[in-house]
Amino acid sequence: MGPSEGLRRRDFIKLTALGGGVLLLAACGASPTAPAKANPTASGSSGQAAPTAATPPITQAVVNPIPANVKLATDQTARYVYSEPTHLDPGLATSGSEVYLIYEIWEGLLAFDAQGNVIPLGATKWDISPDGTVYTFHLRDGIKWTDGTPVTAHDYEWAWKRNVDPKTASEYAEALYIVKNAKPFNEGKITDASQVGVKALDDKTLQVTLEGPAGYFLRIASTWTAMPLPRPAVEKYGAKWVEAANIISNGPFKLTEWNHDQQITLTRNEGYWGDKPKLQKVTIKITPDIPKTSLPGYENNELDFAIGPWPADMDRIKGDATLSKQLHIFPGSATEFVVCDATNPTSPVGKADFRRALYLALDRDKIVNNVFKGIYRPAYTMLPDDILGHNPNARIQGTVKDAQDLLAKAGYPGGKGATLTMVYAQTSTNDLLGQVLQQMWQTNLGIKVNLSPTESKAFTALRKTWTTGHYDLYFSAWGSDYLDPFDWMNFLFTTGTDFYHAHWSNADFDKLCDQAATALDQTKRGQLYGQAETILINDAAYIPLYHTGTPYLIKPWVLNYIWQTVGGRPFKYIEIAQH
């Protein structure tokens, strides 16, 4: 996804982003101090603190802290650019362009702050049974939908059951599989929704029964899939319930305009229960290619933010006296990787040795530094280093010569007879990455790779056909939805999920992930997931390329922009200074 991030367990590191004005705090032994504006205040207390061993602190960046005696602009409008959402339905959303907005216009039971502590939102507190399998959430008074009706526990119960209903076809239904009977209900093995372990005991009390203990469950409860939904609107308008004329939500902003493929407008929700945003409005220009559109718009003062990467312009930006001071690079808890169809009977990628050759033939340092100007970090394994179980020793060791030997072992000496097609969603950045991979595999292995750039919506539709259909290669990415390896290993790569349709299956990998999911000892969980990563990388159905990062340009009059890797809602805290 979405595109989300946290921190590795390591010494306290202080990173100053390029150009000044932003401080990145990465901590494990010590926690960064969040600014006053960063953490919403909430009455009540959580039933249990977030387990620190499983939930390392989240990277947070504060850009342009509010100075004393600041004079604010009369027009509190922020101008942004992003891509067209496929869905703004929390039960169906999968991509960053959707989730980014969902966190601004909806709100769930709880969130996590920059130190990994729980923030009560829709729920003020919760009780946990001694065996860790039953959570009882007590909802806050006074929370309303944007139509003025109260948000109740029944809205949560209906939403969770609706999201795991096979008729809904949610790609994120698996996120709720820890809830008792959610998986068999989603798979059609149980047809009675009342057997799914979520129940409103009354308007203010939600009880959730799990399949077993899960130290990461509160992280699941903080995600968009677990947000409440307005049943009357969903049932009345069907798929059109999220259109601006029909939508009902409960977050700090509300959607007031969605002119498809052109513009989205958010306005302040005056009925929001908590501190109201300072911004009155956010206008979001929609574009199919964010980096290509954002930079000229920013330089022409049509936008207050620009989102990269801009490989072709980065040297110019860093050398510009003005732009360099407005540049901020945020590290990502995300990985870009190539997906191979591991069972394609007519393609070389169906052979593990061939896939290992592809892995070893890539010069990741050159990709990161020469092509993407140091914005990213080389990735030789899948899990980012802020995720429990990250195992650098899982890396496949070898040289280009070893890759050539593996190619011959697979039956394609010198690349003879090996022609591949690599598909990807077309953007200027993806075009560049595709060309680099094509060249490296041609140069180092003699393999011919045909590139097939595809419009983003068409690519999404094509990927769905690969549930059972075959292909050679494509590249994609994943970012942490919450800071736990379950969100990666169990959710993406096990046989029962196969989220990316690699058609890869390994019984030992599945067993390790199953054991880690239910283990309560976090050290043991890390060891199990580390072993699982070794298997995942060695079979090379997924070939990691780099861990992501995102460069932003932010105008100096945009105050208190708070970037947080998981579940952040920066618009809520922004103020616009006179300029």
Q: Cα-Cα-Cα-Cα dihedral of 127, 128, 134, 139, to 10°? A: 20
pLDDT at 86 (0 to 100): 85
pLDDT at 70 (0 to 100): 94
pLDDT band at residue 4 using 50, 70 and 90 as cut-offs = very low
In sequence order, the 6+-apart residues with CB closer than 8 A to the CB of 299 are 323
User: Is residue 378 over pLDDT 80?
Assistant: yes
In sequence order, the 6+-apart residues with CB closer than 8 A to the CB of 115 are 27, 31, 32, 34, 57, 58
Tell which wins on pLDDT, 116 or 401.
401
- Whole-number Å distance between alpha carbons of 114 and 26: 10
Q: List, for residues 256-274, the tens digit of each pLDDT value.
A: 999 999 999 999 999 999 9
Alpha carbon separation from 444 to 358, 362, 370, 407, 539 (Å, rounded): 9, 8, 18, 11, 20
Alpha carbon separation from 162 to 96, 101, 159, 278 (Å, rounded): 22, 21, 5, 34
Mean pLDDT, residues 101-105 taken together = 95
| CA angle (566 as vertex; 563, 568 as ends), nearest 5 | 45
What is the three-state SS of 37-98?
HHCCCCCCCCCCCCCCCCCCCCCEEEECCCCCCCCECCCCEEEEEECCCCCCCCCCCCCHHH
pLDDT band at residue 563 using 50, 70 and 90 as cut-offs = confident
The pTM is what? 0.75
Residue with tokens 């390790």: 512
Q: List, for residues 191-236, the tens digit of each pLDDT value.
A: 999 999 999 999 999 999 999 988 789 989 999 999 999 999 999 9
Q: List, for residues 58-74, the tens digit of each pLDDT value.
A: 457 899 999 999 999 99
Nearest to 311 by CA among 369, 373, 368, 367: 373
pLDDT band at residue 114 using 50, 70 and 90 as cut-offs = low
- Whole-number Å distance between alpha carbons of 307 and 485: 28
Looking only at the bridges linking them, the beta strands covering 281-286 and 263-268 are antiparallel
pLDDT at 59 (0 to 100): 58
Judge contact between 200 and 152, C-beta under 8 A: yes
Backbone angles phi, psi at 290, to 5 degrees: -60, -55
pLDDT band at residue 12 using 50, 70 and 90 as cut-offs = very low
Q: List, for residues 469-522, the tens digit of each pLDDT value.
A: 999 999 999 988 888 899 999 989 999 899 999 999 999 999 999 999 888 788
Mean pLDDT, residues 91-99 taken together = 83
List the helix and strand counts (H, then E) for the chain.
14, 23
Judge contact between 438 and 422, C-beta under 8 A: yes
Chain-centroid distance of CA 457 in Å reads: 18
Q: List, for residues 163-172, the tens digit of each pLDDT value.
A: 999 999 998 8
**Average pLDDT across the chain, whole number:** 88
Chain-centroid distance of CA 331 in Å reads: 13
- Whole-number Å distance between alpha carbons of 249 and 224: 12
Nearest to 40 by CA among 222, 267, 226, 276: 276
pLDDT at 45 (0 to 100): 32
User: Is residue 311 over pLDDT 90?
Assistant: no
